[in-house]
């Protein structure tokens, strides 16, 4: 059985150990960090499959830590905070977070949200094709990397999930609602503009290998045009 490693970044010691107890009882292995910098060092040196990231921390808050992580890594991030205001959730998700848990929380809720994020990221799907080559684009699900004409392109987790979902539904017209539900989940509180924003960024990063087409009145589709 493949071990799933979760990094918990929270300045409160009791909260770190409480989350660790919940997760290890469910079969996950945990790394603990009391600050963003400590967590970043662990991320650089260990294989981390998912991060639980507290927002309200001294020195560097969770939003700042998330932004720094997203500069280099696409590892899934779940925010953890005592705050429940909608703008906090929206900000966290816009910065590249994948979900949001409000304190206090139950063990069942935490595990369910972790499983959902891991499932959406492809880490729990063993029957998906590991590598997909479409035109100039090569998608490696195991390494969670994308190459365009032999050059690695740095994508966020959501951008990677979008591209992989398009590849799985090659040449099919997909609505914004379908994309939002599959990539962000049914309980996502943002708008359909989130899809458009991520598509725009993904197109820019893919450059000349931009095969994502707008299907007017519906959404988007992915198709390679042979010249």
CATH of the domain at 26: 3.40.50.2300
Between strands 174-175 and 77-81, the pairing is unpaired
- C-alpha to C-alpha distance for 19 and 87, rounded to whole angstroms: 25
Which pLDDT belongs to residue 226? 47
> Are 134 and 181 a contacting pair, CB within 8 Å?
no
More confident residue, 193 or 32: 32
Residues 84-105 pLDDT 10s: 666 677 787 788 888 888 888 8
Supply the Cα-derived Rg of the chain in whole angstroms.
Answer: 18
Helix axes 13-25, 107-121, angle to 10 degrees: 70
Mean pLDDT of the chain: 84
Q: Do 99 and 201 fall into the same domain?
A: no
Residue 28, pLDDT score: 85
Share of the chain above pLDDT 90, in %: 32
**Does 135 score more than 80 pLDDT?**
no
The whole domain housing 71 covers 5-121
* pLDDT (0 to 100) of residue 144: 83
180: in domain: yes
Residue 24 pLDDT more than 60? yes
**What pLDDT was estimated at residue 128?**
43
Cα atoms in the 13 Å half-sphere on the side-chain side of 202: 24
Query: Does residue 126 fall inside a structural domain?
Result: no
Domain count of the chain?
2
State the pLDDT confidence band at 193, using cuts at 50, 70 and 90. confident
Residue 64 lies in a domain: yes
pTM of the model: 0.56
């Amino acid at each position: 059985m493949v071990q799933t490693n979760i990094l918990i970044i929270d300045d409160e010691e009791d909260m770190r150990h409480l989350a660790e107890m919940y997760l290890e009882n469910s079969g996950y292995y945990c790394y603990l960090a009391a600050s963003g910098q400590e967590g970043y060092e662990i991320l650089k040196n260990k294989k981390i499959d998912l991060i639980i990231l507290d927002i309200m921390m001294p020195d560097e808050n969770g939003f700042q830590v998330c932004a720094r992580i997203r500069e280099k890594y696409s590892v899934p991030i779940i925010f953890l905070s005592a705050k429940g205001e909608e703008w906090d959730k929206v900000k966290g998700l816009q910065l590249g977070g994948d979900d949001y848990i409000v304190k206090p929380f139950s063990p069942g809720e935490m595990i369910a949200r972790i499983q959902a994020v891991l499932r959406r990221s492809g880490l729990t799907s063993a029957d998906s094709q590991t590598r997909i080559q479409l035109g100039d684009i090569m998608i490696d699900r195991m390494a969670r990397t994308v190459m365009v004409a032999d050059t690695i392109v740095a994508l966020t987790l959501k951008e990677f999930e979008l591209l992989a979902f398009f590849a799985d539904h090659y040449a099919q017209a997909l609505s914004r609602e379908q994309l939002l539900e599959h990539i962000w989940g049914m309980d996502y509180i943002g708008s359909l503009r989130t899809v458009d924003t991520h598509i725009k960024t993904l197109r820019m990063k893919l450059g000349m290998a931009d095969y994502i087409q707008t299907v007017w009145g519906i959404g988007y589709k992915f198709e390679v045009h042979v010249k």
